[in-house]
Amino acid sequence: MTNPLLAAWTGPFGLPPFDAISDAGFAPAMEQALAEDLAEVRAVAEDAAPPSFANTIEGLMRCGAALDRVTGVFFNLAGSDSTPKREELMREFSPKLAAHSAEIYGNARLFARIRAVWEAREGLDLSPEQARVLMLVHRNFVRAGAALEGADAARMKAIKERLARLGTAFTHNLLADERDWAMDLAEPDLEGLPGFVVANARAAGQERGAEGPVVTLSRSLIVPFLQFSPRRDLRERAYKAWVARGANGGETDNRAIAAEILALRQERAKLLGYPDFAAYKLETEMAGTLAKVRDLLMAVWAPAKARAEADAQVLQDRMQADGVNGALEPWDWRYYAEKRRKAEHDLDEAALKPYLQLDRMIEAAFDCANRLFGLEFRALDVPLYHPDARAWEVTRGGEHLAVFIGDYFARGSKRSGAWCSAMRMQRKFPDVQRPVVVNVCNFAKGVPALLSYDDARTLFHEFGHALHQMLSDVTYEMVAGTSVARDFVELPSQLYEHWLEVPEVLRAFATHVETGAAMPQAMLDKVLEAANFDQGFQTVEYVASALVDLAFHEGAAPGDPMARQAEVLGELGMPHAIGMRHATPHFAHVFAGDGYSSGYYSYMWSEVMDADAFAAFEEAGGAFDPAMAEKLERHILSAGGSAEAEALYLAFRGRMPGVEALLKGRGLAA
């Protein structure tokens, strides 16, 4: 019987045949796909013809079709619907894929051909996109160690394989800690909790086979519990479990793994001639240097910390008015901040949630995309990988552009957080291929599902990434969609969040779950007034994490990352009642892979641009100005990584922004 992972996918839109794919098929498919890719790459390396862009660079672009299909499906499933078998396969595949990559990047004959094309580039009459692709291929090989020889080359290969194993182990340990912990709630423990929190706790208990409601470490459940539970003892217990993920001792402890990852990254950078990993990593980013990143973060840290300290005193006073003595603790902040928000803005999240139905927020995201870019969305009835997932065909003017898959609900088999990925990327070479894009979130499941305002913002954020993929219009997959500098990739996603706050969008789509009535104008005004509420807290917890990430990768690797984390927070004067958004043992952005290592700052770097970019719409004809939408699509969303990020932004805006727009946007300007 033919393995469906390797056969041609002839179903609707060339989607993976999820109903025919089984875990048993992944290992043999991966083995065959790896072998095919290697054979194809070797054929390019051993071509007898003189090296050219067509036979070498485009030759590489023709390689690995089967591998792309297998990995595209497997890694989406491993993150969003894990099983013990898939976790076992992850541990098996990660070092194999690292070794495979090392073999390709270590192919001396191949690198010699790439270098020959690179050195002849001035006389090749390449298009701007081809010149960009050639530069990226050459740079990737150099940065991967292709120019290394002998013992250095062998050591680089070993480092990459070990890092792949460690990143997988870090992820699995975190998933295990999140999956295994739950706090049972007796009926009296539910007092003071809004109905939606109680319903979500009961649903979580049911999913886990518990006798009653539970609190889990899913952000969509634990954050509202910390916001609303009047039981300080239960808040403390839940908070301590949440921040202890990856640091509970035993087999799932991530602290030693983090230390080894940092040491290996530093060694890797030194082998390539960089002073440290931060210098290596930032070389290809918009920021370019660690000094520029630190300048940005510290420009935001000072006003954010001042705001947070002032807010802490207000919350402390509220706590003491409740008869609670002692210091304001991290498990107190959200509870008293919610009380303050209700008092100062008369905004009750429990009253707001019925207006934020998941289905209506999806419609809102789609409608904004229609008004800005002419996109239309048609629900599809096709087999998918999980009953919770749903799919839409995306068209414009009757032309097929993409398939969009939304997987919105939290479950034990899904890693925490929210993300966008592509099972298939856009390209025009060597064949025309339209993308299959996936948004994964962890919202609490209800009938109907109701979101917090933060959840709704997350939905818009991830859909902004999806638009970057769906509107991609380049020739080569290597520069398609979100294949851009890490500190540029968050621009489309963070920019799209602004449309959630456009009053006419909320008026049209924030409708009551029972009555269908639009959100009252008074509540809408309060929502928009409160948009910057608690920004001191939110900014401090984020910037602290970004600065710790930088410190980990600057200079010598810390032997004890936890001690280094404490040292950095001490130097910053981290407010006592605020924790890092992601402490080291569960900092998956930084340790699950290289993606955001020395790059967690990139959300804020992009935010400087997104605040300025939305201001461009406001300065023109408003949020749906067609001329600005066309410029945004042409210069950023459709361009992918076909040019330098700064050049793309300048083409859109005409200038680079300063930090002032960000401070104003967060309500932190003096």
Confidence of residue 127 (pLDDT cuts 50, 70, 90): very high
Confidence of residue 154 (pLDDT cuts 50, 70, 90): very high
Instruction: Identify the pLDDT of residue 100.
Output: 95
pLDDT tens-digit series, residues 247-306: 999 999 999 999 999 999 999 999 999 999 999 999 999 999 999 999 999 999 999 999
pLDDT tens-digit series, residues 209-238: 999 999 999 888 999 999 999 999 999 999
Question: Across residues 472-481, what is the average pLDDT?
Answer: 98
**Residues paired with residue 402 on neighbouring β-strands, in sequence order:** 394
The pLDDT of residue 173 is above 90: yes
Instruction: Identify the pLDDT of residue 332.
Output: 98
Q: How far from each other are the two terminal CA atoms of the chain, in whole angstroms? A: 68
Instruction: Kindly list the distances between the CA atom of residue 88 and the CA atoms of 109, 168, 250, 251, 591, in Å, as whole numbers in the listed order.
Output: 35, 10, 19, 15, 19
Q: Which residue has the tokens 């440290």?
A: 276
**Which carries the bigger pLDDT value, residue 258 or residue 532?**
258
The pLDDT of residue 669 is above 90: no
CA dihedral (406, 408, 411, 414) positive or negative: positive
Instruction: Identify the pLDDT of residue 220.
Output: 87
From 161, 462, 477, 497, active-site residue:
462
Instruction: Give the number of C-alpha atoms closer than 13 A to the C-alpha of residue 444, restricted to the C-beta side.
Output: 32
Question: Across residues 80-107, what is the average pLDDT?
Answer: 94
Confidence of residue 552 (pLDDT cuts 50, 70, 90): very high
The pLDDT of residue 1 is above 80: no
**CA distance linking residue 618 with residue 565, whole number of Å:** 41
**Residues paired with residue 450 on neighbouring β-strands, in sequence order:** 357
357-396: burial string, b at 16+ Cβ within 10 Å, e else: bbebbbebbbbbbebbbebebeebebebbeebbbbbbbeb
For the question of residue 283 being annotated catalytic, the response is no
Among candidate residues 391, 424, 420, the one with its CA nearest the CA of residue 492: 420
**pTM for the whole structure:** 0.91
Instruction: Identify the pLDDT of residue 283.
Output: 95
Is 128 in contact with 136 (CB distance < 8 Å)? no
Instruction: Identify the pLDDT of residue 399.
Output: 98
Mean pLDDT of the chain: 95
The domain locations on the chain are 12-175, 181-245, 260-339+535-587
Question: Across residues 530-537, what is the average pLDDT?
Answer: 91
As assigned by CATH, the class of the 12-175 domain is mainly alpha
Instruction: Kindly list the distances between the CA atom of residue 87 and the CA atoms of 28, 81, 122, 260, 611, in Å, as whole numbers in the listed order.
Output: 16, 10, 48, 21, 40
pLDDT tens-digit series, residues 181-193: 999 999 999 999 9
Among candidate residues 33, 61, 35, 59, the one with its CA nearest the CA of residue 47: 59
Question: Across residues 143-157, what is the average pLDDT?
Answer: 95
pLDDT tens-digit series, residues 446-465: 889 999 999 999 999 999 99
Residue 195 phi/psi, 5-degree rounding, is -55, -40
The pair of structure tokens assigned to 566 is 């404490």
Question: Across residues 537-554, what is the average pLDDT?
Answer: 97
pLDDT tens-digit series, residues 14-47: 999 999 999 999 999 999 999 999 999 999 999 9
Q: Read off the amino acid at residue 494.
A: Q
Instruction: Identify the pLDDT of residue 661.
Output: 83
